[in-house]
């Protein structure tokens, strides 16, 4: 009976933590804020901050702390839940653009066909955010709403398209 009582107490405490964290994030969020909480490595904006924006860095930091508590509590219930290293950042305002060019060269392949050089330029919304790639696989870095996770990009690279 004591195990049942402690389990019920633990579930109640988790429910309170989840509810309080969501409420804290909701209270701090604004419609058109300049900051978001996102994963440092992937840019993923997970629950409970998926659609939340914040008007100040300090408000976003408090929301980040609440989101971390929320996700840690969920991970106690489901250890397989995705883990994210959350931090405050500015939202991605424009998608990544890709321009590709295929150029002929003077060289020939072993099968006699002309060798070409393919160049891709990837740019973001800032003037210093770009990468130029020559003769490498081209992969999509973002989907319609967010950056793609590492597994999706790895599959694209393995396909050698």
Last residue of a domain, one of 89, 105, 140: 89
Structural domain including 22 reads 2-89
Regarding whether 82 and 40 lie in a shared domain, the answer is yes
Give the chain's domain count: 2
**Residue 93 CB: number of other CB atoms within 10 A?**
8
- Tell the residue number behind the tokens 């402690």, with chain if given: 6
Regarding whether 136 and 69 lie in a shared domain, the answer is no
Regarding whether 74 and 108 lie in a shared domain, the answer is no
- Would you list the DSSP string of 97-126? EEEEEEEEEEEE-TTSSEEEEEEEEEE-SS
* Helical (H) or strand (E) element with 134: strand 130-134
Least confident of 86-95, 109-118, 138-147: 138-147
Reported as a single tens digit per residue, the pLDDT across 68-82 is 999 999 999 898 888
Residues of the chain with pLDDT > 70: what percent?
Answer: 76
Instruction: Decide if pLDDT at 46 tops 60.
Output: yes
Residues of the chain with pLDDT > 90: what percent?
Answer: 34
Last residue of a domain, one of 68, 89, 110: 89
pLDDT of residue 7: 66
Instruction: Decide if pLDDT at 1 tops 50.
Output: no
- Whether 123 and 85 have beta carbons less than 8 Å apart is answered as no
Regarding whether 9 and 67 lie in a shared domain, the answer is yes
């Amino acid at each position: 009976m004591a195990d049942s009582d402690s389990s019920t107490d633990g579930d109640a405490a988790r429910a309170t933590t989840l509810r309080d964290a969501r409420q804290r994030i909701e209270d701090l969020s604004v419609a058109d804020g300049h900051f978001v909480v996102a994963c440092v490595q992937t840019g993923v904006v997970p629950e409970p901050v998926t659609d939340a924006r914040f008007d100040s860095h300090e408000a976003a930091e408090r929301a980040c702390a609440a989101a971390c508590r929320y996700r840690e509590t969920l991970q106690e219930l489901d250890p397989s839940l995705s883990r994210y290293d959350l931090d405050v950042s500015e939202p991605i305002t424009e998608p990544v653009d890709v321009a590709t060019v295929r150029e002929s060269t003077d060289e020939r392949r072993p099968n006699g066909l002309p060798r070409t050089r393919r160049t891709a330029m990837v740019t973001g919304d800032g003037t210093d955010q770009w990468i130029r790639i020559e003769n490498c696989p081209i992969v999509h870095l973002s989907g319609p709403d967010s950056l793609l996770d590492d597994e999706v990009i790895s599959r694209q690279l393995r396909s050698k398209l």
